Structure 1
């Protein structure tokens, strides 16, 4: 009987060892399952975050496209206006030049009547005007005395 008891005891120890192994496996499986669930939740949150970011970027892209279209419209309008002004100027310019040429002759030089001043004369006259305005009398420059 002791042999039988010994065998039963060994069977019981093996069964307990097997139960402990199965319990440990179950714990490991549960732990892995919980980790997987957490990863799934994290990935779902990341997906939602990326969707929101994508939506924001799509909205921003639409705004940029609208702004670009507006700039293109403005550019086209500016080109049309510029061309219109150029056309109007082309129409008016011969008329203006014709009127000037009528007063001065066929080969008029508009600047022909303007006296030419050298820079020394101009700066001397400007200085004299400044001195007269400041001191109340005319200050003759040294160049005027020599001349």
Structure 2
């Protein structure tokens, strides 16, 4: 599993909109695995650097990211849970299975092509993170 993919989603790391896009059937991807929502693209257009987005509105409340699995195999669930535990060890982020008080969460799927997710906190239930075939490997 791509640990960077998880970190990019949960921390809200945003890259310059000038990076080349890769297109899957449904999404334009930045650096191969990130979907930048239009409102974040607009913020980035007005920045001079490649620093992460600093707008608190785009961060998960209390640095806690809620997630739910949707049709993911048990072995892939285990890899995700292990990876999230490693991220917790080296960051200020916390991960909890379920939904936050607003009903928002990351929906972890493996039913589409590719390894990708949205960047930042979208303020919606079921913000998708996809782990298609070949995305699931363990970082040592």
Q: TM-score range by the shorter chain?
A: under 0.3
Higher Cα Rg, which structure: 1
Which structure features the higher share of strand residues? 2
What TM-score, normalized by structure 1, do the two folds share? 0.14
Higher helix share: 1
